[in-house]
Amino acid sequence: MDIEKIFKTILDCAFKVHTALGPGLLESAYEECLYYEIKKSGLKVEKQKSLPLVYEEIKLDAGYRVDLLVENKVVIELKSVEALADIHLAQILTYLKLSGCKLGLLVNFNVKHLKDGIKRVIRSA
């Protein structure tokens, strides 16, 4: 499936979850519900996917975990915070680098209108 179609499906699922639940819940609640919706849409999705850190020939299990990985192409990092910060962007960029994915979605569910909590992130080569 085309990465833009995957991305649009993910967005549709995120908006459905936010419409149903609204802001104010824990990140883990949104993660479970978004995982369910993405899976229901027919896409392959993994939650809390472990990412090793590779340094030269050493592979370290440094505890990095992607909230959701969709079709091995799109990294989703979920938040439920007052506002997204630079550290959240740095986090998803790190996950994109470690996973080899080019496209990420940073979603803060703790907003009145979800469009204000979404950031599309593209890793440059």
pLDDT tens digits for 76-119? 999 999 999 999 999 999 999 999 999 999 999 999 999 999 99
Start-to-end CA span in the chain (Å)? 22
Per-residue confidence (pLDDT) for residue 27, from 0 to 100: 97
User: Which pTM was predicted?
Assistant: 0.94
Asked if pLDDT for residue 125 goes beyond 80, the answer is no
The domain spans of the chain are: 3-122
CB 76 within 8 A of CB 43: no
- What is the per-residue pLDDT across 37-62, written as a single tens digit (0 to 9) for each? 999 999 999 999 999 888 888 888 88
Q: What is the mean pLDDT of residues 22-41?
A: 98
CA separation for the pair 93, 99 (Å, rounded): 10
Backbone φ and ψ for 16, nearest 5 degrees, come out as -65, -45
Per-residue confidence (pLDDT) for residue 63, from 0 to 100: 81
Q: What is the 3-state secondary structure (H, E, C) of 46-114?
A: EEEEEEEEEECCEEEEEEEEEEEEECCCEEEEEECCCCCCHHHHHHHHHHHHHHCCCEEEEEECCCCCH
